[in-house]
A and B are shown apart, each in its own frame.
Chain A
């Protein structure tokens, strides 16, 4: 039972959240017309063993998308930020 410290709602159990996706990939700009950047964004993943940045959605709470640091080997949880406050290029 992973517990996530939502910046809005506080410490909650994983059943309130939905796992979204890998948060390390960046969506191409809307005016990107080449196929490969979109294929990379939609399909290709680093899929790391260990620490991972990922989107979680607090669907049964504040409905904010969060960027959570989580270890895929141990399920240990690190920082948790609001996605809208994460500067994607910096992460």
Chain B
């Protein structure tokens, strides 16, 4: 395995890039693993990586029905941030941010963490108050946050609409300077390579079709290419959690919805930060390649189709132009959708399930990408110790029975509203 560095790139370049080794193996599956992780996206691969690294559990397989990183890991808008207010969320996402900050070094893979900051704009005094509460919770938990008034925002982001024609005038913004973006594909690849180096088997093109049971306990998975036995089976299939849970007889507090994303043609740098509109579900950043990455809203109806509906296309681009009028003559290059596990309170699950031997990581709503490292880290802990870490202690399935809804938006049990 080649260690990646400027030197290795130089030496390989001299040799005509002929001797790079595979980033991960394509192994034949063993008959049995200690842990089988279902889903080879960022979360599943991170779980495998941290199981090996933090807990020494290396007899692990990641089973992926398509190609690793081909689901939401490769479809999101690449934002990382830790601006969560509700107890149960705040410290979890900050753990993720801290892991992000060292991830490239840890994985020896440049996942391009760019802490270019994120502005959440406020368009009314009420939104400013809500932003202040969020910012104060962040600061009281050791997370950076600043609250800017309109003048400060205008000085920093002069290209937004400050005219009297703006339908929703900008009153100010809450800003997290450590927030930013990461290269989404690289996150999957980096974790895959890292896990593979510890001996984890990544089994692509293999779809889980059921579970193996012994006395009511899950002891493996059935796949379209044969059974694999496992001490523990861990689901990391956000978007399809309901489907995989149903195979085990579970109904989840999750609906699957399609979330749209957009990218423009590449341009020279225009926007050097991440900006979230407060008057509609819309945010924008610019990728290193120069494309403006636009995040839109859900199509509102349940969907497993990885394509978006037209009304939300129009709605999202209208938000873009309302916020930054000069985007009008720039051109949309492509738009697509990812399927989200929308949970009933907008917060995730990292937990044991009522089925012995089956563990669940899902319900990520929009927040999955930024959570990737901490999700893997906490899920690995939960699997290894058979008990949650304090950072994911509230991400259980029974919280709805208890009344512990972790509802960042306060919209209630309406999955398409989170």
Contact = CB atoms under 8 A, between A and B. Distances in A.
Given A19-B301, A39-B401, A45 B254 contact: yes
Contacts of B199: none
Interface string A24-57: 0000000000011001101111111100101000
B401 A44 contact: no
B311 A19 contact: no
Contact of B309 (A2, A35, A39): A2
A49 B243 contact: yes
A58 interface: no
A21 B246 CA distance: 19
B305 A75 contact: yes
B62 interface: no
A18 B208 CA distance: 35
Interface in B31-81: none
By DSSP majority rule, is chain A's interface helix, strand, loop, or mixed?
Answer: mixed
Contacts of B303: 72, 75
B309 A47 contact: no
Interface string A62-91: 000000001011110000000000000000
B255 interface: yes
A19 B301 CA distance: 6
Nearest to B242: A47
A41 B282 CA distance: 31
A30 to B, nearest CB: 19
Interface string A1-37: 1100000000000110011011000000000000110
Contacts of B252: 44-45, 47
Interface string B391-405: 000000000110000
B302 A52 contact: yes
A19 B300 CA distance: 6
Interface in B271-321: 300-305, 309-311
Interface in B226-278: 240, 242-243, 246, 251-256
B242 A72 contact: no
Contacts of A46: 242, 246, 251
Nearest to A40: B251
B413 interface: yes
Interface residues on A, range: 20 to 34
B254 A1 contact: no
Contacts of A72: 256, 301-305
Contacts of A14: 309, 311
Interface in B135-188: none
A36 B401 contact: yes
Nearest to B251: A44
Given A44-B251, A45-B252, A45-B253, A15 B311 contact: yes
Nearest to B298: A19
Contacts of B254: 45, 47
B344 interface: yes
Nearest to A14: B311
Contacts of A45: 242, 251-255
Contact of B416 (A1, A19, A52): A19
Contacts of B302: 22, 47, 52, 54, 72
Contacts of B242: 45-48
B313 to A, nearest CB: 10
A1 B310 contact: yes
18 contacts: A2-B309, A19-B301, A22-B302, A43-B253, A44-B252, A45-B242, A46-B246, A47-B254, A47-B255, A47-B256, A49-B243, A49-B256, A52-B302, A70-B301, A72-B301, A72-B302, A73-B305, A75-B309
Interface of A: 1-2, 14-15, 18-19, 21-22, 35-36, 39-40, 42-49, 52, 54, 70, 72-75
The 10 closest A-B pairs by CB, nearest first: A47-B242, A43-B253, A19-B301, A44-B251, A19-B300, A1-B310, A43-B400, A43-B344, A72-B302, A49-B304
